[in-house]
Amino acid sequence: MITDPRPLTNMRRPIIAGNWKMNMGPEKAFDLMDNMLEQLDAIEDVDIVICPSFVSLETFADMFDGTSLFLGAQNMFWEEQGAFTGEVSPLMLQSMCDYVILGHSERRQYFHESDQDVRRKVDAALSHDLMPIICVGENLQENEAGRTLEIIERHVTAAFEGLDQQYVNKCVIAYEPIWAIGTGKPATGEGANRVFGAIRRKVADLHGDTAAQEIRIQYGGSVNKENIAEFISQPEIDGALVGGASLKPGEFVRIVAVTSQAKRMPAPKRK
């Protein structure tokens, strides 16, 4: 049980990730990134992760070389190779990416990914030196039925139960209430912070207080330049997984800048 999360809160380095989803081919993606790369690279104290579509990963790997930005993929299969038409393996991503988004609600909803599928992907990512951003969150019906914590605890347990202790804090958790994604109706900062506290308690149950205090948790769901300060000012919230706003250079730069101003930490060594 976490007795007091506050003393270690400021030790977690903030992280902002942009999920570009299924938008733009390599040329347009390059132009969009080129419009904000220099500004983002100049911002300190935040880990910045950009997750374009698979077809743009190689282009971005070259662009990010020599910068402070990290590259992430939007999904990944758990097998290294084989007869899995259309899938992308961790071996294919390992040489290009630092992070990979796993268990996003759109993958769970449209492609019927189960908690067990997500766990297989988490294990595969970690064994190939990729840092998973593990998405958890409840839908509107579950929220209105008062099942938020039940759903969150199920997702966290599936992803972390029995995980080797050395890997726990190589993961990032993204709490995305499904009812807030792309709707323009985000959760409140205070409400999200309470859920984050429950997430940390569940991680503590599984892996101890230190792991729970150290793991980074992002908020996702209609994040923009107007509301990022409300979220990032909360003690348990370490950053954001940004969707539509990450496709707007000025807005995304502002989100990262506000985060940097709110939470200052020294830069870690890159892998």
Query: Annotated active-site positions, please?
Result: 104, 176
What DSSP letter does each residue of 98-151 carry, written as one string?
Answer: SEEEES-HHHHHHS---HHHHHHHHHHHHHTT-EEEEEE---HHHHHTT-HHHH
User: In the numeric block, which tokens belong to residue 193?
Assistant: 């912070």
Question: Please, are residues 154 and 118 in contact by the beta-carbon 8 Å criterion?
Answer: no
CB crowding 39-52: b at 16 or more within 10 Å, else e: ebeebebbbbbbbb
In whole angstroms, give the CA distance from residue 181 to residue 154. Answer: 20
User: In the numeric block, which tokens belong to residue 41?
Assistant: 């690279």
In whole angstroms, give the CA distance from residue 196 to residue 260. Answer: 20
Residue 126: name the closest of 175, 158, 93 by CA. 93
In whole angstroms, give the CA distance from residue 133 to residue 74. Answer: 9
The number of residues in the chain equals: 271
